[in-house]
Amino acid sequence: MPREFALMGVLFPGLLPMFLGSLVLMLLLDHVFARTGLYRQVWHPSLFRLALFVCLFGTAGLFLVH
């Protein structure tokens, strides 16, 4: 994956698609977790959401290295 890509003359970082993909996946998982009642079992739902996003984005970022 390139370090950056141009879109209509503006340079964007190469991690932007992975960031957006991780964000969409996190929102989908957040919806599933909320409907199943998982957030009643965790201590701090906001921290759980943040940790979920960091794990997803970190995993996606590892694919950039390979």
User: How many alpha carbons fall within 13 Å on the CB side of residue 16?
Assistant: 11
Element (H, E) at 29: helix 16-36
Task: Give the separation between CA 59 and CA 66, rounded to whole angstroms.
Answer: 11
Give residue 1's pLDDT: 56
pTM beyond 0.75, yes or no: yes
Confidence of residue 65 (pLDDT cuts 50, 70, 90): low
Residue 64 near residue 2, CB atoms below 8 Å: no
2 has a pLDDT exceeding 70: no
pLDDT tens per residue, range 19-55? 999 999 999 999 999 999 999 999 999 999 999 999 9
